[in-house]
Amino acid sequence: MIFSADDKRYMRRAIELAYQGRFTTTPNPNVGCVLVKEGQIIGEGFHQQAGTPHAEVHALAAAGDNAQGATAYVTLEPCSHTGRTGPCAGALIKAKVAKVICAMQDPNPQVSGRGMKMLAEAGIEVASGLLGDEAEKLNLGFLKRMRIGRPYVTCKLAASLDGKTALANGESKWITGPEARKDVQLFRAQHCAILSGADTVLVDDAKLNVRLDDTQLAEYVLPEVRQPLRVILDSRYRLTPDLALFQQPGEILLVRSRTASVTRKELDKQPLWPNNVTELLCEGLENGQVNLDALLAELAQRDINSVWLEAGATLAGAMAQQQLIDSYIVYIAPKLMGSDAKGLLTMGPFTAMTQVPTLHFSDMTPVGEDIRLTLEQLRVE
């Protein structure tokens, strides 16, 4: 189907609306909807939070009886099943819209073409594929989880201009400036889970939570902060409840490897954890480390769409070498830390350039005195 310039304009507005839900919709996708009649927008809305009305319902409520005969522009195929809310395809049929244009089909097996079929069988004209590539970017995590049963992983790194993350004595506060650190909080807030290791928690006494200030809350119209699940690898049982990590609100998943060598004495001295802490025994490797791919599969089973990896060189390097990272956010500070400082990732050894992971630069943005680089993993098919 050939779409007009007006069709594209209305779908772009729907995409803009959907983007407003990026802090709050998890585990649901971000969806926007615009209702148009006689060349005028008569209703619009976006999905705001799981368990609350979907984008189509908000748009229909705004349009009222005027929705009859309208065209609906939706960033994702309307759902056809009853979950915590009713099916949006049914709501559009009841409102007697004339046409529904979807940016893309929903890969969720509970929908996956059924919504569009339901609309078509009710006599509503249906089309899809309008600005599909742009709509995909709204829900990289949800789509990956639905398609292959894994969350989308973004690795955050911060380094000096010469690629160092800490001095030889371990000191690393602060490589980047305050603006970059505030920027990190916004990225954390958009993810379902934050993944790190015991080393990071112990060395930095890291909280790994979201700390948005009042200005950020006001700018993004957020009444409160949603804390992502904090997933911490600790197969050697080194963490204790007195650490700052455990003094913050929000759920924590402590991950242990089934194959790790742990003495009875170490197990016996384990403390009682707060109610917000859950321990997970995960599939392990022969060396006693957690099977990282198995962990990602487990997180997907727990409805985790997106993971923000903020860890030390060892864990980040292992994830990178196993090609489990989809994209990177790298902050480069205008500092030179010297040859004896610690490197960015522990990887290799590589013996040929064909073994070296290849990335694609997709964005470069100044953040205060630092530069934020966005890179995507290139997959070899």
* Active site residues per annotation: 56
**Closest CA relative to residue 253, chosen from 189, 305, 197, 316:** 197
* Tokens describing residue 184: 């990190």
Note whether 124 and 93 are within 8 A (CB). Answer: yes
Backbone phi, psi, residue 219, to 5°: -65, -40
Per the structure block, which two tokens stand in for 186?
A: 């916004």
> For residue 100, which of 91, 109, 108 has the smallest C-alpha distance?
91
Q: Distance (Å, rounded) from C-alpha 208 to C-alpha 218?
A: 22
Q: What angle do CA 228, 231, 236 make, to 5 degrees?
A: 160
Residue 173 near residue 183, CB atoms below 8 Å: no
Query: Nearest Cα to 110, choosing from 81, 144, 131, 142?
Result: 81
Contact 331, 180 (CB under 8 A): yes
Give me the phi and psi of 306, to 5 degrees please: -135, 140
Omega before 349 within 30 of 0, i.e. cis: yes
> What are the residues whose beta carbons fall under 8 Å from the beta carbon of 152, sequence distance 6 or more?
140, 141, 144, 145, 305, 306, 307, 326, 327
Q: Cα–Cα distance between 22 and 227 in angstroms, integer?
A: 13
Give how far Cα 239 sits from Cα of 43, 202, 206, 297, 348, Å. Answer: 51, 7, 12, 24, 28
Which residues make beta-bridge pairs with 343? Answer: 164
Strands in 219-273 per DSSP E: 229-233, 252-257
Residue 184: count other Cβ atoms within 10 Å of its Cβ.
Answer: 20
User: How many CA atoms, within 13 angstroms, populate the side-chain half-sphere of residue 36?
Assistant: 20
Give me the helix-helix angle, 5-19 and 55-63, nearest 10°: 110
